[in-house]
Amino acid sequence: MRLHSLALRDFRGVKDRIVRFRALGTTVVVGDNEVGKSSLVEAFGLIFELPDDSKSTRIRDIQPVGQDVGPEVTAELSLGGRELTYSKRWLKNRSTELTIVGADGRRQSWTGREAHNEAERLFHENVDPVLWQTLMVSQGQSLVLPTPADAEPLITAVTAESGTPVDGASMPLVTAVEHEFLRYWTPRGKPTGDYARSARTVSGAELAAAQALQAMEEVQTDIRRAERLNLDLSDVDTRLSDHLKSVEELRERKKATDEILLRRDSVRSRAETARARLENHTRTRLDRERLLDEVERFTKFEAELATKRADADLVAKTAAEMVQAAEAALAEVVELKDLRRTDVQAAERRVSDLMDRAELDRLLGQQTELVDVRVRIAAAGTILDRIKVDDAIVAALEDARAAVVEARAALAAGVPEVSVRRLGAEPVELSGTGLDGDVPSELGFDEAAEVLVSGELVIGVPGQLEVTVRAGGEAATLRSRVDDAVRREKDLLKKAGVKDVAAARELLRKADTATAELNEARRTEKSLTTGGDPGERIAVLTARLGPDDEAEEAGKAAVEGVPGQMSLFEEFVSPHDTLFDDFDVPEPEEGDLAGAQRALEEARDGLAEAERLLADAEFAAAQARKAADEDRSEAQNARARSELAGERLASAVEALEAARVVLDDEGVAAAETEATAEVEAVLEELTVVQEQADEAGADQVAGELTHALAVATRLQGERDTLRDALRTTEGRLEQSGRDGLATRRDVADLELAAVRAEHDGLQRRAEAARRVYETLSRHRAEAQTKYSEPLQTRIESLGRSVYGPSFRVWLDDDLAVAERELDGVRLRVEALSTGAQEQLAIITRLAISHLVSTGEGSVPVIFDDALGWSDKARLRDMGALLGRAGDHGQIIILTCMPDRYEYVPKATFLKLDA
């Protein structure tokens, strides 16, 4: 099949378009996204697949959105030696038209459903669907490697080329063996059909026989279980009867001991009551003794606290007098300290004034030095502003000078040098063009000239001789180089403002010196102004010292005239200006500062002594206050404790009197004695009753009876369980007798023997069929290896034009590429990069197309948006491969990136516009 043209009208976003393809060769259809490239492939598939009256949603999907029109497709193609023109319109004004021109020139036409049926028949007769799907790569499917084992045209082509039958045996025999194999086995080798059903029947019969045998064994087991249950039940009945007799005996004993236990409980209750009464009387006696003790103790404590209270009051009075004396002494020391502080402040002011005057003298000298430094900065800046030479310009001048020397040397070596000397009386004239250096127009007697001729030199003796010297063709180039080098050197000298390289070097040296001077002056200025501008400090000190009015005005004017942070490039009118001559600063007498400092030290020593005395006085006053506070606090505590002791004594006396009103001291002792005797009598009675209960074992009888009843209950439960188990077993035995288990077992054995015999026959036939099928499959696999060689060889031939001579591939049973070897490295296809997988898929499809291109079942190779994963080098190689493949078949490429296919030779590019 060859596709010649496709015309689309009202198809998705395509209004009206016709695209013509080369019947042999590569056609690249180029268009932007959503311009309708993929719609071409879709339209060609729909025209053969769906009739014009189809209600499929696929037809609704291709109708333009919001337009009530009928999508229409027209295809022109060659199919089975005939030329077809096939048109179809869906939805609106439906129609189908088919025109066929045969090899003999006869024309036939069909319309409607007949046209659709005839086109569909021709397409299926001449186009193998597997081959068509294999060679048509839809968008996004370029990475999928083809598996063309079921493509009949390819199998036919490789069979013809290899000379090996496809199956390795006749097809009727292969079909018969495969049919017989599939009667008994699935394609994966599992039992199926009658053989599988027979195996399941045998398994069912074996299960039934095993169940019948198990049922007989269970009957024997139930018989033995019933005998054992009868024996166990008889034994439990005997033990239960004996145990019930002992339970009745324990009940009688419990009735006899219950009366003793009741009498013991009554005595215990009276004993508890007597003991409680004794505890109350004992507590009353202890409270009375406590009250008596508290009255006696509080009386004695009150007398002691009264004495301590009087002593504390006396001590507090004495401490108050000591505080008054300490505070008076402290006031005197504070007054002395104030006098000493006044002396120190006066001395400090004197020393500060003298130090300020000394600092003012130092700052005046520093300001003078700062003025000189700034003059140096301004001078250096002026020099640097006037110098236009730097390292780069000097280097460029040196390079230009070297270029001039080199060009002149090349000129001297490449052009003729003419030496002319005048020997006679006749004048010798020189003229010409392209002469190097200053050449005289005329030579004097015995005068000589040496000239490099890069153009033309004319030597003449008027009326006698004229000689012309011309340089060769290379001389003009050498002269041009010399002129260019000289011109560049002059431009650089003019830019630098110097006459030659030596002058430029001298200026550069002066610039370096000025830069060093400038940097040094700036460092000095920075060190002089580290603490701030000296002029500001001078003004502050002058104001602090307070000179007379005239001196203050002069100093103020001088400070205002002092330059601040000046520009580095400012020039002074005179470097010897003095800015501080008008300052009237009083000069201190020699030695005043040292004397003032000694007076300050003496005043400070006096102040320190006064402070030490003050600290001692303050410490003494603080200690006196602390002692007075402690004594006063102690006196207050003594009064509080004395008052509290009096209150507690009165409370204890009041409580004792109230208790004696209820019961006097003798009555308390008598009541306790009487309660003690009562407790002793009740305890003696309780001892006697307890001895009687111990002798009768009354405490143990209740526990023994409870235990015996629990044992009786357990035995009764065991007896009931045995009775139920016996009844169940006897019921099963009765049912087994009615079911006829022995007969069932015999019937199951007979049925098992029958189905086993039938299954053995089927098994023998199934195993024979499998052996024949496996033998035939092995021979077919060997033959398949032979007929897959043409496709493998064709893939390797195409791949080596891209990857080189080390490229090899291996095919699987479906003729798909399974592994690739490159430079000795063999990898599974899944392990290759995305680009390598896409390239291998394209190479495989081109190889298939090449094999089937000469047969009637050939189809176009269509790539929709391929080679998106390849680098530029691989794009070049793949483009060349696509160009060569177009020589053997029809290749159609749909793309929005035409740059990928710029290396495809002889390709036809079709541009689709929106």
**Res 601: pLDDT:** 81
pLDDT reported for residue 808: 92
Q: 191-206: buried (b, 16+ CB within 10 Å) or exposed (e) per residue? A: bbebbbebbebbeebe
Per-residue confidence at 163, pLDDT binned at 50, 70, 90?
low
Taking alpha carbons only, the member of 875, 824, 823, 819 closest to residue 844 is 819
Lowest mean pLDDT among 15-19, 322-326, 709-713: 322-326
SS (H, E, C) 687-748: HHHHHHHHHHCHHHHHHHHHHHHHHHHHHHHHHHHHHHHHHHHHHHHHHHHHHCHHHHHHHH
Mean per-residue pLDDT for 354-360? 75
**Pairing, β 808-811 against β 817-822:** antiparallel
CA–centroid distance for 708 within its chain: 77
pLDDT tens by residue, 46-84: 999 999 999 999 999 999 988 989 999 999 999 888 999
Structure tokens at 366: 């520093």
d(CA 787, CA 770): 25
pLDDT at position 531: 66
Chain position carrying tokens 């087991």: 221
Q: What is the pLDDT of residue 99?
A: 96
Average pLDDT score over residue span 1-26: 91
pLDDT in tens, 819-856: 999 999 999 988 988 888 888 889 988 888 888 876 66
Q: What is the mean pLDDT of the chain?
A: 79
Which residue, chain included where needed, has tokens 């166990």?
Answer: 232
- Distance (Å, rounded) from C-alpha 898 to C-alpha 909? 9
Q: How far is CA 351 from CA 117, 237, 345, 541, in A?
A: 129, 132, 10, 14
At residue 114, the pLDDT reads: 95
Host H or E run for residue 502: helix 501-528
Nearest to 712 by CA among 250, 243, 236: 243
**Sheet architecture: strand order including 2-11:** 14-20, 2-11, 72-79, 82-89, 95-101, 107-111
**Which pLDDT band, with edges at 50, 70 and 90, does 266 fall under?**
confident
3-state helix, strand, coil in the chain (%, to 5): 65, 15, 20
The three-class DSSP label of residue 185 is strand
* Mean pLDDT score, 693-701: 75
> For the sheet containing 861-864, what is the strand order?
136-137, 861-864, 890-895, 25-30, 908-911
Closest CA to 375 of 572, 556, 613, 128: 572
The fraction of the chain above a pLDDT of 70, given in percent, is 88
Q: 210-224, 553-567, 871-885: lowest mean pLDDT where?
A: 553-567
- How much is the pLDDT for 72? 95
Residue 437 confidence (pLDDT): 61
pLDDT of residue 83: 93
pLDDT for residue 116: 95
For 450-465, what is the mean pLDDT? Answer: 78
CB contact set of 146 (below 8 Å; sequence gap of 6+): 134, 135, 816, 841, 844, 845, 848
Q: What CA–CA distance (Å, rounded) separates 125 from 48?
A: 13
Dihedral sign for Cα 604, 607, 611, 613, please. positive
Which among 748, 680, 720 has a CA at the least distance from the CA of 211? 748
Express each pLDDT in 83-108 by its tens digit: 999 999 999 999 999 999 988 889 99
pLDDT band at 590; cut points 50, 70, 90: very low
Q: Give me the phi and psi of 17, to 5 degrees please.
A: -150, 145
pLDDT at position 169 over 60: no
Tens-digit pLDDT profile for residues 127-156: 888 888 888 887 767 667 777 766 667 777
Structure-token pair, residue 14: 């395509």
Of 208 and 100, more confident: 100
List the one residue out of 808, 782, 686 whose CA is nearest residue 264: 686
Q: Is 457 strand, coil or helix?
A: strand
Task: Read off the amino acid at residue 580.
Answer: F
Q: How far apart are CA 287 and CA 428, in angstroms?
A: 167
**Per-residue pLDDT tens over the stretch 718-764:** 888 888 888 888 777 777 666 666 677 777 778 888 888 888 888 88
DSSP for 334-393, please give it: HHHHHHHHHHHHHHHHHHHHHHHHHHHHHHHHHHHHHHHHHHHHHHHHHHHHH----HHH
- Average pLDDT score over residue span 493-506: 81
Return all residues near 733 (Cβ < 8 A) that are at least 6 apart.
219, 222, 223, 226
DSSP letter (8 states) at residue 826: E
In this structure, the number of other CB atoms found within 10 A of the CB of residue 189 comes to 11
**Residue 838 tokens, joined:** 């896409």
pLDDT of residue 553: 46
* Bridge partner residues of 450 (DSSP): 419
Contacts of 875 (CB under 8 A, 6+ apart): 867, 900, 903
- The single residue listed with the structure tokens 């550069």 is 508
